[in-house]
Structure 1
Amino acid sequence: MILHPAVLALFISSLLIGFMVLYAALHAARIVRWWDSRSGSELQLRLERDTYLVSTLLAYAFGFQLLSFFLYIFTADTLHSLFVGAMCAAGTLQVNGYGYPALVLKLTNFLLAGLWLIMNYTDNRAYDYPLIRKKYVFLLALVPFIVTEMAVQGLYLSGLRADIITSCCGSLFSADNNGVTSDLAALPALPLEIAFYASMGATLLLGLWFIRKGRGGYLFSLSAGTAFFVAIASLISFISLYFYEMPSHHCPFDILQKEYGFIGYPLYLALLAGGVAGMGVGVIMPFRKRESLREVVPQLQKRLAAATVALYFLFTAIVTYRMVFSDFTMR
């Protein structure tokens, strides 16, 4: 393993997150099994104290989990100069067979952790904790993903050695190669461009409608999730080309570098945060009619929808500005 400060930070933070989640899961299992809000027993009082501890612990753990996604990408980009053949994070992640699986797990856990935090925040706003069993069942379902990420990332980081020759992003994201990244790069630009603007436009309109009328929450959430994945495919297929002004350079990581003004960070932050907020509207939608959440859920949903609208608009505006004012054209 390369003893770089960022590598050590990732390794230690992953262990801490894993330990905190496992510890919380032990308490969560007891809460799911024995929780009874109508009881005044000594066991129930202990469970109520435990839920404060678990909620606080997980708020920090999942907060670190969200940050670790960006730290992982930043670390991979920072280390690329140590490996022959690597020009950005794409090459660093290709050093061994665990880099990209760890990235996919981190992205998955970013979304799931964000949704859990939204559910937890909603539950804590009510006087009777109506979602306590549901959120802890959700937590128990999350544990295998967190533990798997910890293991896969550990294997990746421990396998980093400076004498390894790796592939550059030009070959990894080439439309002529085989693989998922190559398939995304080979997607036809015009249909995907139409899908990108259609999904973003639909999400923005549905979001404004939901904020104004309070209706169509599920449809808005579905649209936000669809737009999220369409945007990721679009970044690789055609958006990146306008930033690099090269017709065959589809790498989604070079935009994180200084040469491109680190524009990738606000792009990814807007897309990820907007996606979590938008999907979060749908996650808490079934609880709108709970007596203790009748006022809490609609207000929170409108704030989440407003965040999605603002962040997706920012993402689309940055992309559109670059497409309009770039010297590169695909027409």
Structure 2
Amino acid sequence: MHVIVVAADQALQASISSILETRGHDVIAFADANEGLDRLGRDRELNAFIVANDKDAGAEICWEARLLSSFERPIYVCLVSPPLPSAAFIEALDCGADDVLQLPISPDELYARLRAAERLNQMQHKLLEMATRDGLTGLYNRAAFFHRAASLCGARPVVAIMTDIDHFKAINDNYGHAVGDRAIRAVADCLKSQGDIVGRLGGEEFALLLDIADATDAWRAAEGLRRMIAMQEIDLDRESVRLSCSFGVAMGQAGEDIDELLRMADAALYAAKRAGRNMVALYDPEKMAAAPRPNSIIRGTSASSTGARRAAS
């Protein structure tokens, strides 16, 4: 594991660090708790925090470390201290410590606690993957995409790209859903190579957010993806299925509402579909309406209407 050790006592700090490093753990040691907490907050690779403290502040430090953990970032928090009265032991656990180890520390006990922490971290990462990733493609699922997109849009200008597979219904109807799934995976693999945040929003439809501020660069990025996908073939026994996608691109500003940005990209995608498919369209507010369309996969729009979008696919 990647461990921070906080101990004002230099001898104790060196002892715990040596114990951990002997078993291959990566250790960063601090004498000052605030410095250790600051590093823990900045470095998301760190997944364990051990504080050796013989003062009343130990529980408070555990609390501060626990505030830095989340469902997406599990952190094992351990307090090492002299024998504690029952009330102080309970307080440490209530304040966020996963374990409280007594001095003198037992190397074997510490190793065992870390092995248990690693098992829990692995299970939590697996649960996170299941909760945020699309099972077919490995891309972000709909909910995870919007969650990550909202934070990125608030920080700086971004580009939104909407795309879907041309004539996807015909692929399913003519070759079966297994071939359709292969087509979706092939397109997803291409999109992974470009997007900072890439999600499968539904069926054969995908969205990307790129950290690009120039419209020409944004168009080129989408055009590169279009060409890459156009080279994909799904090999069957006696023939192959060629793939193509249409793309809609919209430029956003810092603080842009993600739903509105995707509506603009979706309007551009629909324009590319109407213009003949297998092309890239850049959103033009004078020519394209960013209003929701029937069966749009953008949040907050009606899913009860039928016809226009699916007919365009």
Normalising by the smaller structure, the TM-score range is: under 0.3
Rg larger for: 2
TM-score by length of 1: 0.21
Q: TM-score, normalised by structure 2?
A: 0.22
- Bigger helix fraction: 1
Q: Which structure carries more strand by proportion?
A: 2
